[in-house]
Chain A
Amino acid sequence: MTAIDQITTPARRRSWQSVTLWAGIILVSLHVIVGLLTLVWTPYDPSAMAGGRLEAPSWLHWVGTDRLGRDFLTQIMIGSRIALTVGIGAVAIGAAIGVTLGLLAAFASKFLDDALAAALDILIAFPTLLIAMLVVAASETATLGSAILALGIALSAIVARLTRILAKRVLLMDYITAARTSGTSWLGIVFSHVLPNIWPTLSVSFALQFGLAAIAEASLSYLGLGAPPPNASWGRLLQEAQGTVYTAPIGAIAPGIALVSLVIGINLLADGLRDSIDPTRRAR
């Protein structure tokens, strides 16, 4: 009994890992393909009134039309592109600022480290969305770029704190001292030992924050602080569908499903990736 368990468990675990990884890859790549496709082709012109107002789904309009008669599927497809752009942009900005600050804090003298840690804790105490709203409000007009920047800055505090804690833990290890005793510079230690060792955890966190950024962008757009109208963000679609949610519920359901499928896909992908990046967790 136990012998059989020992034999089958790793295999089962591996197959389950690959199921989550593949489900994540399929969901995310669906969004990526759709997003890229909208750059060259959409079913209808996104701003043209292609049908009657609030039509139900049909062969001509798979997800129906909105209250101005525009094709809804076209807008949701463009929404994929916007969500991905915001997610990638915000995580890239958050990672660049956050990892740098976190590493600085981990290496800094006690005073500077305490000051940075306190500042980060204060930043984290504010909800991500609130910080993003402040940044957007501070810029003159709401654009896609300002939304990305706002979310990137808001996420960087989370990344910085995580990086600081992870890097501090790695810096206590004997292999860091061993590298120092053999004369490795601090910069060399960061690139050859610290970053590779915190990367599996960081990358999972980046993926989770990608999902967070996608949701936050939808929230910003819902509040009218996201990308302005020609950009069909899912949040704006939800906001527009709010008035007609009882007569044409598909208008709220479809962007919701799109958003949820992207966020879940990213999270599954993150879990699968973590297991395959980290050799000590890799099923053999």
Chain B
Amino acid sequence: MSLLTIENLSIATSQTTLVSGVNLTIAPGERVGLIGESGSGKSLTAMAATGLLAPGITAKGSVILGDTQVIGASERKLNTLRGRVAAFVFQEPLTALDPLMRVDRQIAEPIQRHAPHRLSRDAVHAAVLKLMHDVALPDPERIARAYPHEISGGQRQRIAIAMALACEPQLLIADEPTTALDVTTQAEILALLDRLVRERNMALLFISHDLPVVATIVDRVVVLRHGEIVEAGPIASVFGAPQHDYTKSLVSAAHAFDAALGGTP
């Protein structure tokens, strides 16, 4: 049984159609990349998967997350799914953290909410430190007491990942998680996500416009353009023998970039 099944999903405002006819399934433990340029509907599709569309934007079709139909479900029902079944990591780590809340409280929030019974302060603190350790944050005791503006971008993104992991989701949705980071940090975060997904046996939906980044972490890609899927398949076949013109141009652009670097990393 698959974890996320999207069938014939269309997303529209009152004026325009943003996404149409999207089909996507993710099995437990599977890693899928969602690729496309800005405005192609990647993030909207991911938001629709957890029922997080902004007011005024409506989704039609079928989205089954876990065993619940997301479209038309009540907020209360969705709240039990969110975090536990699927969790998000966002693009911009600075806005993904509450600027006025210390880091340890932000990580503690999802832990406390999803705990079956009330946790003691020490238990919460231990759980927070364990998560911070899992995402390889240096000096967790000090960072736990810091505000988001006091730590680096890479550290903030690790905190955001720790928050997403707090409820032990079966599916991690990463929306351009490395785009706002410099190249070195980007590689570190990718390696971290790769390790965490493997260790925790999570499924991953990785959203990006950056082909080389996606290629290193997912098994299967779905290419989106103007709100429609133009190509989908295993990473090797899509990148090795792209069928659609748009995918071809993306792949050749990535090759041209590699060539410009002279083949050296």
Binding site for B on A (CB under 8 A): 109-110, 173-175, 177-186, 188, 192-193, 196-197, 200, 278-280
Contacts and interface: CB of A to CB of B under 8 A. Distances in A.
B110 A177 contact: no
10 contacts: A110-B55, A174-B92, A175-B97, A178-B96, A178-B163, A179-B109, A181-B87, A182-B87, A193-B98, A279-B147
Contact of A181 (B50, B95, B97): B50
A180 B163 CA distance: 12
Contact of B55 (A109, A175, A177): A109
Contacts of B96: 174-175, 178
A184 B113 contact: yes
B90 A178 contact: yes
Contacts of B87: 181-182
A182 B82 contact: yes
Q: Please tell me the size bucket of the interface on B.
A: 35 or more
A195 to B, nearest CB: 10
Contacts of A181: 50, 52, 82-83, 86-88, 164
Contacts of B79: 180, 183-185
Count chain B CB atoms within 10 A of each CB in A109, A179, A182, A279 and give the residue with the most. A182
Interface of B: 50, 52, 55-56, 75, 79-84, 86-88, 90-92, 95-101, 106, 109-110, 113-114, 147, 149, 160, 163-164, 166-167
Contacts of B99: 197, 279-280
Nearest to B81: A183
A179 B106 CA distance: 9
A282 to B, nearest CB: 9
Given A184-B113, A197-B98, A174 B90 contact: yes
Contacts of B106: 175
A207 B189 CA distance: 45
B127 to A, nearest CB: 14
A200 B100 CA distance: 10
